[in-house]
A and B are shown apart, each in its own frame.
Chain A
């Protein structure tokens, strides 16, 4: 399954195209291919694993991840790394840009396994270099970055706080502060619920152990970051008048995950409250389009794996296997976990008013908070300020504005991922191969 670097032909046909190379995509591709389907995985990443299974040394992968990846390799699924789906429509297949090539993929079925991204909320100084998301920091570390000697603040919300703090500590960074914005009672309540998921509990204890000497403060969040040309200090508060200013050179701060639903929206799938609607076999509202993992609701690795299996089986025509009680039950179980997760780490009120008038909200277009009128519709805000009209197309600011103002996500227009004119044109011009399958 490791990308053999082949330059694909101008148009490719297959039974199942899997978009996204994390746990959901790997599970879907594996199951579909094991059942005889011709599978192509289109993954934007440099190597299989998505975000949570990202690694620069396979020995650092958890055993379960290694086993899935090896099984995927044996399954015969074809893997294309650095492959970005830039456009698509059910009757016209998927338009893909990969390195210097541009081509179309015509699948009978698509499994969308595009994962999730971090929720960023603007605060003064958040655009300073070396302020990044916790997931962004984790991506760097898992990519082999050297954090030794860096003075780090990890602050934010949700399941990433512990693992990122632990990874920083293991990497030789100095943890200056570790802060979870959710109040202690929410976190404690969540921890109690973890008893139902022993593997998760063990995981949490393991992370906590990694930085045991540093305290982990609940109900604490970042007020502002300051520095000249990069972050040099961070101000934290507990909301009860206490403030702490900590010198640091790296701030990892984000507030949970937001499903990546752009491709699903482009293909016409029903998306409600930011998640893709699926039935019990991961089918979306569009025929032959399935969705698995975080885009159906943020639930973590286990949920993604099970949904991926179900989707891969259903997409390759094995719906009975997809309905297997064991799979269905496991999926429902992990989805319940995800609901508890979301409520425990919900961003508190104070985070919505951190930005001052000058704080940048849209980083692509440098639209500052004072220019925005909460009474506008999202389209109106876009037209008047160009918020969300830059290359990220609102992936960062749109999610923030949904939390800050209640603005629904705007329309998704092609192309995705800002491909070059010539690449996108090349995909637009290609026709389906004439050897059409019945």
Chain B
């Protein structure tokens, strides 16, 4: 397995295997609202393959990045819609 690296998700440190799809890291980190829809709903991915655009988050300052098409790299800074977390604590 590739080495573990640290990324930041909404200010929290998360350890992931390098190269893991970012959407997987966010799922495991319990992210619920990846983005906010036009009418204010929290949204999360449905397709996992770059089709639905619901997994969009801000990565290293650039918005509208589909997290299912990005590999995790050390030091990545991710900002989501921060609509709560699964598996709190």
Interface residues of A (CB under 8 A from B): 44-47, 51, 56-57, 82, 84, 117-118, 120, 127, 129-133, 135-140, 143-146, 229-230, 249, 260, 360, 363-366, 390-392, 395-396, 417-418
Residues from chain A with a CB closer than 8 A to the CB of B32 are 129-130, 229-230
The answer on a CB contact under 8 Å between B86 and A230 is yes
Question: Chain A nearest CB: distance from B41 CB in Å?
Answer: 6
The answer on a CB contact under 8 Å between A133 and B53 is no
Residues from chain A with a CB closer than 8 A to the CB of B49 are 45, 51, 117, 135-136, 139
For window 15-69 of chain B, which residues contact chain A by CB distance below 8 Å? 17, 19-21, 23-24, 27-28, 32-34, 37-39, 41-54, 64, 68-69
Residues from chain A with a CB closer than 8 A to the CB of B39 are 366
The answer on a CB contact under 8 Å between B48 and A139 is yes
A417's nearest neighbour on chain B, judged by CB, is B50
Residues from chain B with a CB closer than 8 A to the CB of A146 are 28
Question: Chain A nearest CB: distance from B83 CB in Å?
Answer: 6
Question: Chain B nearest CB: distance from A184 CB in Å?
Answer: 28
Given known contacts A129-B44, A229-B33, is B52 in contact with A140 (CB within 8 Å)? no
Other-chain contact of B24, A131, A145, A260 (Cβ < 8 Å): A145
Known: A135-B47, A230-B86, A395-B52. 12 other contacts (CB 8 A): A46-B71, A84-B69, A131-B44, A136-B46, A140-B48, A143-B23, A249-B86, A363-B54, A392-B51, A396-B46, A396-B52, A418-B64
Residues from chain A with a CB closer than 8 A to the CB of B47 are 117-118, 132-133, 135-136, 139, 396
B48's nearest neighbour on chain A, judged by CB, is A139
Q: Is the interface of B mostly helix, strand, loop or mixed?
A: loop
Residues from chain B with a CB closer than 8 A to the CB of A45 are 49, 69
Pick the most buried of B47, B53, B70: most chain A CB atoms within 10 A of its CB: B47
Other-chain contact of A363, B20, B43, B68, B86 (Cβ < 8 Å): B43
Given known contacts A139-B49, A230-B84, A395-B51, is B28 in contact with A366 (CB within 8 Å)? no
Residues from chain B with a CB closer than 8 A to the CB of A137 are 48
Residues from chain B with a CB closer than 8 A to the CB of A418 are 53, 64
Residues from chain B with a CB closer than 8 A to the CB of A363 are 37, 43, 52, 54
Interface residues of B (CB under 8 A from A): 1, 17, 19-21, 23-24, 27-28, 32-34, 37-39, 41-54, 64, 68-71, 83-84, 86
> In the complex the two chains form, what is the Cα distance from A137 to B47 in whole Å?
8
Given known contacts A57-B1, A390-B53, A392-B52, is B21 in contact with A131 (CB within 8 Å)? no
The answer on a CB contact under 8 Å between B48 and A132 is yes
Residues from chain B with a CB closer than 8 A to the CB of A145 are 24, 27-28
Question: Chain A nearest CB: distance from B59 CB in Å?
Answer: 12
Question: Chain A nearest CB: distance from B89 CB in Å?
Answer: 13
Given known contacts A230-B86, A364-B53, A392-B52, is B37 in contact with A46 (CB within 8 Å)? no
B62's nearest neighbour on chain A, judged by CB, is A420
Residues from chain A with a CB closer than 8 A to the CB of B43 are 127, 129, 363
Residues from chain A with a CB closer than 8 A to the CB of B44 are 129-132, 230
Question: Chain A nearest CB: distance from B23 CB in Å?
Answer: 7
Residues from chain A with a CB closer than 8 A to the CB of B51 are 117, 260, 392, 395-396
Residues from chain A with a CB closer than 8 A to the CB of B48 are 132-133, 135-140, 143
The answer on a CB contact under 8 Å between B86 and A127 is no
Question: Chain A nearest CB: distance from B18 CB in Å?
Answer: 11
Residues from chain B with a CB closer than 8 A to the CB of A395 are 51-52
Given known contacts A135-B48, A140-B23, A391-B53, is B38 in contact with A366 (CB within 8 Å)? yes
The answer on a CB contact under 8 Å between A56 and B46 is no
> In the complex the two chains form, what is the Cα distance from A205 to B72 in whole Å?
36
